Amino acid sequence: MRTSIAGTVAMVWAATALMISPAIVASQQPSAPVRVTVDVKPGDTPTTLEPKRQGMVPIAILSTKDFDAAQIDIDTARAGATGVEATAFKHMLEDVDRDNDIDLLMLFRVSDLALTCQSKGVTVKAKTDKGQEIEGTELVLMVGC
C-alpha cells in the first residue's frame, strides 16, 4: 500500500493529538494575574485625585514576602481607569513603604490615566520579567469635579 507524504503527516499528527495529555493542555492555559498591592500617591490617606488637573501622580507597586516588585518589566506597566491607559514616564526602585524591601515607584501624567469624576479607582497592570501578569487596584476618591 502506497501512502502519500501528506497522508503520512496527517496520520502522525492525528496519532500525536490523541496522545497529548490533558495536563499538558491545561498547563498551557494562561494563568490568572498575580494580585499586587498598589499605592497611589503613597502617604495620602484617604487617596484623592483630581482627574481634570494637569501634572503627575506617583503610583507604587509594593513588594511583599510573596512578590518582588523589582521583577516587573517596566515596558509592560500600564495604569489608569482599567489598567491599560497610561505608561509611566519615569520610574525608580526604592523602599516606598519603609518596610526594608524594594518597591517600584512610577510617575504617570494624570491626563493620561483617563480618569473621570465617576472613576472609583486606579488599576495597574504589568508583566514580570518572566512574563507573569500582575494586576492591582487602589480605590481613589475623585475630587475637584
Please list, residue by residue across 54-66, b when 16 or more beta carbons sit within 10 angstroms of its beta carbon and e when fewer do.
Answer: eeebbbbbbbeee
Q: Span 61-88, mean pLDDT?
A: 95
CA–CA dist 100, 5 (Å, integer): 63
Domains of the chain by start residue, with CATH? 31-142 (2.60.40)
CA–CA dist 32, 136 (Å, integer): 12
pLDDT at 95 over 70: yes
Q: Nearest-CA neighbor of 45 among 89, 97, 94?
A: 97
- Would you state the pLDDT for residue 29? 60
pTM, to two decimals? 0.77
- Would you state the pLDDT for residue 31? 81
Specify whether the CB–CB gap between 56 and 112 falls below 8 A.
no
- Would you state the pLDDT for residue 88? 96
What is residue 143's three-state secondary structure?
Answer: coil
